[in-house]
Amino acid sequence: MTIDIDSGPKVMGDDGEFHVTDEAVDLSGTPAEGWIALLLFWALAGVVFTQFVTRYVLNDSASWTEEIARYLLIGTVFVGAAIGVAKNNHIQVDLLYRYLPATPSRWLSRLVDLLRTAFFAAMTVLTVMMMQKMGSYQMTIVDLPMNIVYSVCLFGFAAMALRSVWVAKVHWQRGYSVLERPDSTMQDR
């Protein structure tokens, strides 16, 4: 069997140089949570860089950087998780759906959508209840209320709940979910 090396995409020009062109970057579909998570991530990077400079360059570590970095990481994770819900690409087990008939598979998929939405809604309510009980509890080193951190978690859970409702609506409208057809995405309509 011979392979024709000229049948694939051409990356070497006639001049013998390597030519590659990048695709245009389109950020128009980036959800609001994506921009907030990016902002939190870059704030985290700035704090970690400050921690590195104060510890290893100035040899006088700033104690606040470790605590703030921890809280920014928590915020990045909770807000970023809403992106995973919007793309419907969290961990899932779709083996069962391969062997179930179409009707039970569809109803089980709807149940998963309902339970996911209920879970995120319950976590939103529980976070509000916890914030009310925390009252004026302060951070350990920085003199700020701990509810700042929990409000970012609250935002993340609320965004996950709203995105979960949206995902369930998309699944209902198109008649199948990613569980039933693992090769599909949220953009398929």
Domain annotation covers residue 26:
no
Beta-carbon neighbour count of residue 81 at 10 Å?
19
The structure's pTM equals: 0.79
Domain annotation covers residue 188:
no
Choice among 21-25, 48-52, 130-134 with the minimum mean pLDDT: 21-25
- How is residue 124 written in tokens? 């939103």
Domain annotation covers residue 187:
no
Is the predicted pLDDT of residue 94 greater than 80, yes or no? no
Choice among 6-15, 43-52, 57-66, 76-85 with the minimum mean pLDDT: 6-15
Domain annotation covers residue 17:
no
Q: What domain range includes position 158?
A: 32-174
Domain annotation covers residue 182:
no
Q: At what angle do helices 32-52 and 147-174 cross, to 10 degrees?
A: 140
Residues 64 and 76 sit within 8 Å (Cβ to Cβ)? no
Domain annotation covers residue 131:
yes
Domain annotation covers residue 107:
yes
pLDDT at 4: 61
pLDDT at 11: 67
CA atoms within 13 A on the CB side of 188: 12
Question: Helix (H, G, I), strand (E, B), or coil: what is residue 145?
Answer: strand
pLDDT at 188: 61
pLDDT tens, position by position, 102-142? 888 889 889 999 999 999 999 999 999 999 998 889 888 88
Structural domain total, the chain: 1
Output 141 or 2, whichever has higher pLDDT: 141
Is the predicted pLDDT of residue 30 greater than 70, yes or no? yes
CA dist 72 and 55 (Å) reads 19
Highest mean pLDDT among 21-25, 28-32, 146-150, 183-187: 146-150
Domain annotation covers residue 189:
no
Question: Helix (H, G, I), strand (E, B), or coil: what is residue 152?
Answer: helix
> Confidence band (pLDDT; 50, 70, 90) for 10?
low
